[in-house]
Structures are given as structure tokens and as C-alpha cells.
């Protein structure tokens, strides 16, 4: 299975100078008096004569697409004088019976393979622009000044690293997780979050990690603050029962806890899925790469319930955007889907949400539940609509020999490293041709050329981008 990601940029230039005529958009005609003509086939003099004869005026022109909108009282008189028959301007009506896929205005949406693979725009059309449940992010805090993170929807919880109530992110992990779940959507910049939920943010991880006790306390804080879904993209190195108890209490209080499965498959495959993902009250999420293969680092085990996009995931960072990889990135895709389900039916219990997500997942790997993908890829549209799991109809299989986006340049940082960071900055990255190179920053600060990575426009605010896992430009 593969994916085909095509970012289409349409820049419509609306101008009036090309014809030398003044427009009058304020006097928009009745629909039956609104016509269009091909301005490429008309001179300024012909258009002027036609308008005068027809008792009309110019509403607007589109120089890029080569048409003009006219208000005409007598279209036949216009044709006689201008030599071109005007066409009635076609009407557009919303299709109210079936939700239509929202196409948000977010500059980097084309580089977000995760939401597009999950058919998130159709899920957004079903769920609506905002959802009422609250997502709690127990992580390294939030870059509260980031223009793509929703300050008006964030409640700041406790910072267990600095001992205050200002959980500002200094490492980037929490901001990245938060952006995947709920970055501002349709704001003509940056990335699009999977949902538009309210957020409760605590800080339990700093530059040197954190403590299981802080994680447990933050989960209790989240329940007390009214969270409906908790995202915990982290784990304990050993079993610590109070953390399990905090998750158990959250479950009994009606709060779903989504946890990353872990990233140690290569270093510790025998006991990879760790506390708290091993517990029955936690929903453990594994990671896939853009070719929909289980990521090599993603923990396998019977506790894995769902898979979600985890490799080369683009999201928000303090003062920037960047690509991280890890089961930490997979979990918030599931968290956001759970929040959309609860918005649709607030009476659902955590068990109800879990069952719906598992039953509607898109099966990957072995038939049925398996240790790499669980029940399969989370499917927001199927979960929200009750329809069968979504299977892309316009995908292109990737060559299995070139589909691994980490082969060869961006090796994982080893062991239990949370993520690999690919920086997107300035005008870095290929902008034309076959998108064969971009800068990728790995954990030691070295810069490598990543030949199969990404292309982003380098002008303005980078209106479009695409991830080309096989190095092709399409």
C-alpha cells in the first residue's frame, strides 16, 4: 500500500488594469444578469462598446484565468457590438446531503502526509470546524507564542520541571505533539491540526527527560481540569504503579488515555512496549512510515491497538516547524480522532471510543489484529461515519526499494530516542525540478543532504509543499 501526495497551488490574480476599464463590484447584478466573457479574445475597445450597447458594467476580471464578469441588461446587444456571445455565469450550490471535504488554507498542508493519508479533510467536514471536548497534552509544554498554536483554546496547567504554572516548551517535543493534534486550521499559514479542540497543557519533560511521578500527577491534573482525552507521548523505564493507578482512575472517570507504544524495537524488541502503554486502560499506538509500513523503531507487541502516521511528521516547534519521527507523533493522530468522536457523541465511554476506533481501523499487515499495527491504521472518516474503513482510491504504490524515507541519510538517533528532527528553515529545500535534496538536521547538529525528502516553495510563506518519499516530483 502506498500514498500519493499532490499539492496543487492555485493563485488567482484578480485585476482590472488589463482591460483599462474600471470595475464596479459593489453593484453585483442579480444572478440572471451576470455573464462571463473570454477577455483573451476581446480588445479593450470591443469590451467597452459591448458594455455601452448592453447597458452593463464590468464587475471584475481574472487576469490569470482570462475571463471577466459582466452585469448586462441586454446580452444580445453586447454580442452584436463586441462580437462575442456572453455566457451566463454558472451558479454554485452547497451539497447539503453529503458533507464535502473541507480544503483548509494552511501553507504546509501539502507536506502533511499524515492528515492527508487519513483523509482528514473529509473527517473535518463531518465533525465540523470546532469540537467541544478538551485534549490534555502531558508532555514538554507548549510554545505558547507560536502563531499556529491556539492560545485562545489553551489552558496552562502545571510545569513540573520548573515548578510553576507556565508550561512553556523549551525542547519542542510537546509543541510538535500539540500541533499534530490541534494546530490552528484554515489560517493561511503553517500546518493544520487534526482537530480544533480545547487544550490543557502540562509540562513533565525537560531537556533531560522527566519523572514518572510527574507524569502521574499531570494525568490527575488533566482529569481534574475536565479533559476528555489525554495524550501521553512518553513512557517510564520501569513499571511504576502510581502511574498505572492515575491512568486507571482517568479511565474510570470517563477519560480516554492515548499512549505512544515506544520507539525501542531495534534496541529491545523482546520487551519493547513499556509502562504505561502495556496497561489495559491505555490505548497504545504504533507508528507507520509514509509507505504505510510499520516504522522500524516502532514497538511491536500484543498491547498495540492502533497504528497512525509517525515518520516524517510535520508540525509546530518553538519558533519554527519541523519533521519529527516516533510513536510520539502517531499518538496525537489517534487522540484527535477520539476527540472528534466524543464531540459527535458525548455519551461515549472510553471503552466505546476504543471499540469504535478499533472496529473501524484500516487493516494493515496480517489479517486482523497483529503486533505491528494492532487493529490497523486509525480511520477518522470510518469512525465518524460508521462506514467501512477508508481505502485510498488515488494512490500510487511506492517502489519497495526506495520507499524508506530514512534510507540512507536520516538514521534514527539510536536506542530510545524520541524522534528524528528534519529542519525546515529559510529557503532551504528544493523548489523546482525533481525535488532531489533538502537539508536534514540530525540530533548531533550535523547537516546532511537528504535526497528523498521534501520540497517546499521557498518564496513568501511557502504556500505549498510535498513530501516525496521516492524522490519523484509528483
Report the catalytic residues.
139, 173, 328
Q: Distance (Å, rounded) from C-alpha 275 to C-alpha 262?
A: 9
Half-sphere exposure of 267 (CA within 13 A, CB side): 9
- Say how far residue 296 (Cα) sits from the centre of its chain: 22
Judged by DSSP in three states, 179 sits in helix
Q: Which residues pair with 20 in a beta bridge?
A: none
CA-based R_g, the chain, Å:
26
Q: Cβ atoms within 10 A of the Cβ of 162, count? A: 14
178 neighbors 353 (Cβ within 8 angstroms): no
- Burial tier of 113 (Cβ tally within 10 Å: 0-12, 13-18, 19+): buried
Amino acid at each position: 500500500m502506498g500514498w500519493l501526495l499532490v499539492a496543487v497551488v492555485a493563485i488567482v490574480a484578480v485585476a482590472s488594469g488589463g482591460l483599462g476599464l474600471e470595475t464596479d463590484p459593489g453593484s453585483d447584478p442579480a444572478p440572471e444578469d451576470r455573464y462571463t466573457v473570454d477577455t483573451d479574445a476581446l480588445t479593450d475597445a470591443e469590451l467597452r462598446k459591448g458594455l455601452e450597447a448592453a447597458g452593463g458594467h464590468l464587475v471584475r476580471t481574472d487576469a490569470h484565468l482570462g475571463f471577466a464578469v459582466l452585469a448586462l441588461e441586454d446580452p444580445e446587444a453586447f454580442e452584436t457590438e463586441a462580437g462575442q456571445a456572453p455566457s451566463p455565469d454558472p451558479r454554485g450550490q452547497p451539497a447539503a446531503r453529503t458533507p464535502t471535504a473541507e480544503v483548509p488554507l494552511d501553507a504546509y498542508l501539502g507536506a502533511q502526509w499524515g492528515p492527508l493519508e487519513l483523509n482528514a479533510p473529509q473527517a473535518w467536514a463531518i465533525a465540523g470546524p470546532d469540537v467541544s471536548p478538551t485534549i490534555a497534552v502531558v508532555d514538554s509544554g507548549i510554545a505558547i507564542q507560536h502563531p499556529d498554536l491556539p492560545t485562545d483554546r489553551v489552558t496552562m496547567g502545571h510545569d513540573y520541571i520548573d515548578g510553576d504554572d507556565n508550561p512553556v516548551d523549551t525542547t519542542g517535543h510537546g509543541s510538535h505533539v500539540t500541533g499534530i493534534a490541534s494546530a490552528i486550521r484554515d489560517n493561511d499559514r503553517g500546518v493544520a491540526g487534526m482537530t480544533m479542540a480545547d487544550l490543557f497543557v502540562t509540562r513533565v519533560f525537560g531537556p533531560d527527560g522527566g519523572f514518572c511521578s510527574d507524569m502521574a500527577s499531570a494525568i490527575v491534573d488533566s482529569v481534574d481540569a475536565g479533559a476528555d482525552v489525554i495524550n501521553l507521548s512518553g513512557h517510564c523505564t520501569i513499571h511504576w504503579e502510581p502511574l498505572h493507578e492515575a491512568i486507571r482512575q482517568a479511565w474510570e472517570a470517563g477519560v480516554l488515555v492515548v499512549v505512544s507504544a515506544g520507539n525501542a524495537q531495534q534496541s529491545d524488541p523482546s520487551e519493547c512496549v513499556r509502562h504505561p502503554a502495556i496497561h489495559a486502560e491505555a490505548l497504545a499506538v504504533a507508528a507507520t512510515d509514509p509507505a504505510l509500513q510499520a516504522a522500524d523503531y516502532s514497538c511491536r507487541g500484543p498491547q498495540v491497538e492502533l497504528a497512525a502516521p509517525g515518520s516524517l511528521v510535520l508540525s509546530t516547534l518553538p519558533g519554527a516547524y519541523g519533521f519529527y519521527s516516533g510513536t510520539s507523533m502517531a499518538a496525537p493522530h489517534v487522540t484527535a480522532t477520539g476527540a472528534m468522536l466524543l464531540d459527535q457523541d458525548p455519551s461515549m465511554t472510553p471503552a466505546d471510543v476504543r471499540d469504535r476506533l478499533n472496529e473501524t481501523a484500516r487493516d494493515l499487515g496480517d489479517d486482523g489484529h497483529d503486533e505491528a499495527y494492532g487493529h490497523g491504521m486509525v480511520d477518522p472518516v470510518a469512525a465518524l461515519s460508521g462506514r467501512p474503513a477508508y481505502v485510498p482510491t488515488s494512490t500510487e504504490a511506492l517502489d519497495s526499494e526506495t520507499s524508506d524515507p530514512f534510507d540512507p541519510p536520516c538514521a534514527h538517533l539510536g536506542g530510545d530516542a524520541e524522534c528524528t528532527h528534519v529542519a525546515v528553515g529559510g529557503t532551504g529545500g528544493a523548489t523546482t525540478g525533481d525535488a532531489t535534496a533538502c537539508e536534514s538536521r540530525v540530533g548531533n547538529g550535523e547537516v546532511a543532504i537528504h535526497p528523498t525528502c521534501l520540497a517546499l516553495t521557498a518564496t513568501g510563506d511557502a504556500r505549498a509543499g510535498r513530501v516525496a518519499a521516492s524522490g519523484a516530483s509528483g
